[in-house]
């Protein structure tokens, strides 16, 4: 039992816990369940053990130093290997408890995606596949940024209507940015975009939403927890600025986490933007 991460969950008998990386990497298919900013370091440490494997990243975000997503980081650090991403609306506690969950598996090669889809799926975990890795990566990454923004709104006492508006405009921002980078808009309307956004922006189980709640209430967010949206906001805001692409919510969240603005100023700036067509 993992009393820290999964309290009251008894792990199945066919799961073996080990610190021996040689034993842990014997399988042909490996799930890399580490924070986005730790993914490259993990792969570097296990480099020779990962060659020729099916590597499925379970993190959501962008590498702050390179602006790369999980699949791109895998491709950049280990070859040959099949790189994939498991993303979508899910909390580890729900999956571990056997509650029904649906996720997206993104992989560039259709045959690899189909093979991995069948390996991962089980009675309570439904897996949909896509070859649109850009859309899947960006949907999972940017929803964390919008979750911080939504948490901030609720923490500041601005109400549910304000959160709904922010979620909606945040989703439009995600779709615009993803399409700008070559993603298919249909991917963002699925589990890895809209589905993940709906869950993360409305539940206090979300660490990103919790972080936003703290900011909105004038407190300091807990940075000991993995809050993927922080680095993602900083990374994407930097790239969007260099490309002169308007990302008002993302750049506002980036400014908040860097303490370059306060909540009242940030909200005023968003509300005073010129009116426009939806």
Question: Which residues, 6 or more positions from 30, have their beta carbon under 8 angstroms from its beta carbon?
Answer: 24, 50, 53, 54, 55, 56
Question: Which residues, 6 or more positions from 67, have their beta carbon under 8 angstroms from its beta carbon?
Answer: 235, 236, 238, 239
Give the C-alpha distances (Å, rounded to integers) separating 60 from 10, 13, 116, 262. 26, 29, 19, 26
Q: How many CA atoms lie within 13 A of 181 on its CB side?
A: 22
Answer yes or no: are the C-beta atoms of 250 and 142 closer than 8 Å.
yes
- Out of 143, 179, 219, 225, which one is annotated catalytic? 143
143 is catalytic: yes
CA–CA dist 152, 162 (Å, integer) = 11
Measuring CA to CA, which residue among 250, 226, 89, 230 is closest to residue 166? 250
Tally of CB atoms within 10 A around 165: 16
Catalytic residues: 143
């Amino acid at each position: 039992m993992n009393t820290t991460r999964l309290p009251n969950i008894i792990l199945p008998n066919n799961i073996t816990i080990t610190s021996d990386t040689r034993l842990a990497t014997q399988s042909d298919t490996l799930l890399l369940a580490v924070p986005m900013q730790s993914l490259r370091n993990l792969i570097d440490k296990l480099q020779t053990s990962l060659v020729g494997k099916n590597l499925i990243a379970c993190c959501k975000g962008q590498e702050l130093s390179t602006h790369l997503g999980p699949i791109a980081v895998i491709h950049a650090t280990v070859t040959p290997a099949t790189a994939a991403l498991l993303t979508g609306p899910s909390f580890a506690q729900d999956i571990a408890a056997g509650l029904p969950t649906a996720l997206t598996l993104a992989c560039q090669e259709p045959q690899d995606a189909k093979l991995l889809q069948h390996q991962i799926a089980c009675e309570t975990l439904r897996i949909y596949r896509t070859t649109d890795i850009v859309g899947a990566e960006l949907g999972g990454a940017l929803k964390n940024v919008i979750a911080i923004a939504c948490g901030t709104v609720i923490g500041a006492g601005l109400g549910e209507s304000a959160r709904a508006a922010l979620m909606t405009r945040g989703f439009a921002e995600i779709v615009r940015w993803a399409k700008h980078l070559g993603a298919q808009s249909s991917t963002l309307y699925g589990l890895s975009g809209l589905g993940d956004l709906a869950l993360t922006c409305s539940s206090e189980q979300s660490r990103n939403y919790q972080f936003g709640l703290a900011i909105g209430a004038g407190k300091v967010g807990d940075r000991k927890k993995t809050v993927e949206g922080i680095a993602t906001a900083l990374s994407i805001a930097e790239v969007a600025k260099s490309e002169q692409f308007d990302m008002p919510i993302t750049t506002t969240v980036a400014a908040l986490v860097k303490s370059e603005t306060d909540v009242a100023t940030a909200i005023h700036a968003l509300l005073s933007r010129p009116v426009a067509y939806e």
